[in-house]
Amino acid sequence: MDRGIRVKNAERKAQYRRDTSPGPVISYNVTDRGLTESFVMAARQGGRWRELAGRYRYADG
C-alpha cells in the first residue's frame, strides 16, 4: 500500500468517527420551559383527528 493512501484512509476514518459519534444528552423539565401547552394541544388535536376519521371512515361507501 502506498503511504499516501494510508494517511487518507486514517483521515477519512477519523472524520467518520467524529460525524457518527453520539452527541451530548440534554435533558430538561418540560414545565420549566413552558412547553406543556403545546403538548396538551397536540393531544387534543390527536383526539379531534380520531373523531373526524371515525366520522368519515365510510363516506366513500
SS3 33: coil
Higher per-residue confidence, 49 vs 17 = 17
SS3 27: coil
Q: Distance between CA atoms of 57 and 61, rounded to whole angstroms?
A: 9
Question: What is the number of helices (H) and of strands (E) in the chain?
Answer: 2, 0
Would you state the cell numbers that stand for residue 11, as one nine-digit string? Answer: 483521515
pLDDT at 60 over 60: no
pLDDT of residue 37: 60
**Of 10, 7, 6, which Cα lies nearest the Cα of 18?**
10
